[in-house]
A and B are shown apart, each in its own frame.
Chain A
């Protein structure tokens, strides 16, 4: 029964992934200045037209786009995403090298965001209407309105340059992780805090809370046993869905801190117009995003039987 839900969701995700791969491939094939031209230019401009033609053929740029896509697709399903035009490294290998660092960043940020966001949100929800509530919501909104690329620089300025607590370069792995993770986490903490607060307020209005109170339950028990537990279902979903946005944020944060990772790999390749690498990295991020949403869906239906029945 549960297995069927998973299969159904997977079946929905496959065409979407195919669609995004086609879309990305076609968009990138329109990028002005193709790889052959760029390579030729960098060779010092001494490349003859004939050589350029040869290079274009070698890279397969002269074929129609759909043919190029088909070639890309048939190789990609076998795990071959082509090679970087710049370094000639296999894209798959580059992804595998950059992945651990991105996972480390995203996971640490997620933990930080959940801790900060839940705390702020729960306090604001319970102390609804007080200055504590409005204070936490201002902090949440600020976190959400801050450009991540700027927050990263400000944190660097404060902690590395002014306070000299953390080194700008070098240092232990933990020292290198803390500022990027904090940068990525603060915005999401803001979103989580606001949503947690809304959930708690909604839950507090429900009948069972009145019942629990009127039967003489202590307020703390009402909150912990009933309200928090019931609002957590949506909170888990929300947090899960934020994971994809966190991947988007990682793209920026990795670039700001010149930190190794899939996001930075994608940006550097975009700037260099190293298309095989861009394709590989972007599609890989899309895949991770789709899979994480799938996982959230499945977890959600596990937590909330109503959804499970609906989707069958």
Chain B
């Protein structure tokens, strides 16, 4: 809500104003325990993903049968699987895949969903009608089922999982962005821009889009958690990443049959999924409190 003032006072140096908002948000995040915890975990995950070979001495794929199925110990923090591969190492390398799936899925959803939502909200009439119809169709299937159908049509593989996860979360963004656009375009500064002869494109990108920013950031953070969960579920069901890829969902499946003999096989990678989703949800919650208290869930 404070943002649209910036648009009104178009002569105010926008950069300094925006920077101060960013600083405020960061301060808020650092001030809330949820924001600190979530942000800290995400930072750690990113560092692990980037520097995986430096973080762990083991190889995620090479087998060493003499170490097979050893329980968690100081040597193997999360134990080893039936091929003697270190589970912790596979979890660390797996974070690369999960973060990629989350990032790609959210990006697709934000770009496509955001664009369609903006168009639907800004131009009412048949554009809105068509986009809403399309949204309702996508919403008629539970998200995970939609993702599964898409990935089945595209075939297995991480890349297709990203697309499927992205498509399944598009309708959510359309709905929220459309709703926000509808209320923003009724505000005075949009009228002012129109009266002074701004083109539709200029109004959309220069005046409306910046005001959607906070809602999209909050949605994207929580959407990241969902994307990681859905991506892992697809691979868990055998339709996504394929062995021997160190992917968290497959690792949980792998350990399923040996739950009795080696509990750590499924439990550890599942914990990684949960901690990641939790971190993004905490961050999203905290961002929402800071940026946009009206967004629900």
State which of A143-151, A204-212, A296-304 sits at the interface with chain B: A143-151
Q: Which residue of B lies closest to A33 (CB)?
A: B155
Minimum CB–CB distance for A128 against chain B, Å: 14
**Is the pair B150, A27 in contact by a Cβ cutoff of 8 Å?**
yes
Q: Chain B: interface residue count, which band? A: 35 or more
**Is the pair A15, B153 in contact by a Cβ cutoff of 8 Å?**
no
Q: Which residue of A lies closest to B256 (CB)?
A: A153
**Is the pair B149, A271 in contact by a Cβ cutoff of 8 Å?**
no
| Binary A-proximity of B187-228 (CB < 8 A = 1, otherwise 0) | 000000000000000000000000000000000000001000
CB neighbours (8 Å) of A15 from chain B are: 133
A278 within 8 A of B: yes
Minimum CB–CB distance for A126 against chain B, Å: 20
- A151 to B133: give the CA distance in the assembly, Å: 36
A98 within 8 A of B: no
- A287 to B183: give the CA distance in the assembly, Å: 32
**Is the pair B142, A147 in contact by a Cβ cutoff of 8 Å?**
no
Minimum CB–CB distance for B128 against chain A, Å: 15
**Is the pair A285, B281 in contact by a Cβ cutoff of 8 Å?**
no
Minimum CB–CB distance for B132 against chain A, Å: 10
B277 within 8 A of A: yes
**Is the pair A248, B140 in contact by a Cβ cutoff of 8 Å?**
no
Given contacts A20-B137, A161-B259, A289-B142, contact A147 B152 (CB under 8 A): no
- A30 to B144: give the CA distance in the assembly, Å: 19
A35 within 8 A of B: no
**Contact among B133, B259, B267 with A16 in the assembled complex (CB-CB below 8 Å):** B133
- A189 to B256: give the CA distance in the assembly, Å: 26
Q: Tally of A-B residue pairs with Cβ under 8 A? A: 138
Given contacts A157-B263, A248-B144, A289-B141, contact A147 B274 (CB under 8 A): yes
A96 within 8 A of B: no
**Is the pair B153, A31 in contact by a Cβ cutoff of 8 Å?**
yes
**Is the pair A17, B237 in contact by a Cβ cutoff of 8 Å?**
no
B148 within 8 A of A: yes
Given contacts A194-B297, A282-B141, A289-B140, contact A147 B233 (CB under 8 A): yes
**Is the pair B267, A27 in contact by a Cβ cutoff of 8 Å?**
no
B61 within 8 A of A: no
Given contacts A150-B252, A248-B143, contact A145 B274 (CB under 8 A): yes
**Is the pair B145, A282 in contact by a Cβ cutoff of 8 Å?**
yes
B179 within 8 A of A: no
**Is the pair B155, A23 in contact by a Cβ cutoff of 8 Å?**
no
B296 within 8 A of A: yes
CB neighbours (8 Å) of B285 from chain A are: 141
Given contacts A248-B144, A282-B145, contact A147 B278 (CB under 8 A): no
A135 within 8 A of B: no
B273 within 8 A of A: yes
B229 within 8 A of A: yes
Q: Which residue of A lies closest to B259 (CB)?
A: A157
**Is the pair B297, A141 in contact by a Cβ cutoff of 8 Å?**
no
Minimum CB–CB distance for B161 against chain A, Å: 14
| Binary B-proximity of A4-25 (CB < 8 A = 1, otherwise 0) | 0000000000011101100110
B64 within 8 A of A: no
Given contacts A149-B233, A153-B270, A157-B259, contact A24 B149 (CB under 8 A): yes
B75 within 8 A of A: no
**Is the pair B273, A153 in contact by a Cβ cutoff of 8 Å?**
no
- A207 to B274: give the CA distance in the assembly, Å: 40
Please classify the interface of chain B as helix (H, G, I), strand (E, B), loop, or mixed, using the class held by over half of its residues: helix
- A290 to B139: give the CA distance in the assembly, Å: 9
A244 within 8 A of B: yes
**Is the pair B274, A16 in contact by a Cβ cutoff of 8 Å?**
no
**Is the pair B277, A145 in contact by a Cβ cutoff of 8 Å?**
yes
Given contacts A145-B225, A255-B237, contact A270 B274 (CB under 8 A): no
B241 within 8 A of A: no
Given contacts A24-B149, A195-B296, A255-B237, contact A147 B232 (CB under 8 A): yes
CB neighbours (8 Å) of B282 from chain A are: 141
CB neighbours (8 Å) of A266 from chain B are: 145, 148
CB neighbours (8 Å) of B12 from chain A are: none
**Contact among B148, B225, B232, B297 with A270 in the assembled complex (CB-CB below 8 Å):** B148
- A32 to B154: give the CA distance in the assembly, Å: 8
**Is the pair A271, B297 in contact by a Cβ cutoff of 8 Å?**
no
| Binary A-proximity of B18-62 (CB < 8 A = 1, otherwise 0) | 000000000000000000000000000000000000000000000
CB neighbours (8 Å) of A270 from chain B are: 148-149, 152, 239
A119 within 8 A of B: no
Residues of chain A from 212 to 226 with CB closer than 8 A to chain B in the complex: none
- A289 to B145: give the CA distance in the assembly, Å: 12
Given contacts A146-B274, A270-B152, contact A245 B237 (CB under 8 A): no
B11 within 8 A of A: no
CB neighbours (8 Å) of B255 from chain A are: 153
**Is the pair A150, B274 in contact by a Cβ cutoff of 8 Å?**
yes
Given contacts A28-B149, A145-B225, A147-B232, contact A16 B140 (CB under 8 A): yes
Enumerate 12 A-B pairs (CB-CB under 8 Å) in ascending A order. A16-B140, A19-B134, A19-B136, A20-B141, A31-B155, A32-B155, A146-B277, A149-B237, A248-B145, A251-B144, A266-B148, A286-B141
Residues of B within 8 A of A (CB): 133-134, 136-137, 140-145, 148-150, 152-153, 155, 225, 229, 232-233, 236-239, 249, 252, 255-256, 259-260, 263, 266-267, 270, 273-274, 277-278, 281-282, 285, 296-297
- Lowest 5 CB-CB distances: which A-B pairs, in order? A248-B142, A150-B270, A145-B277, A19-B137, A145-B278
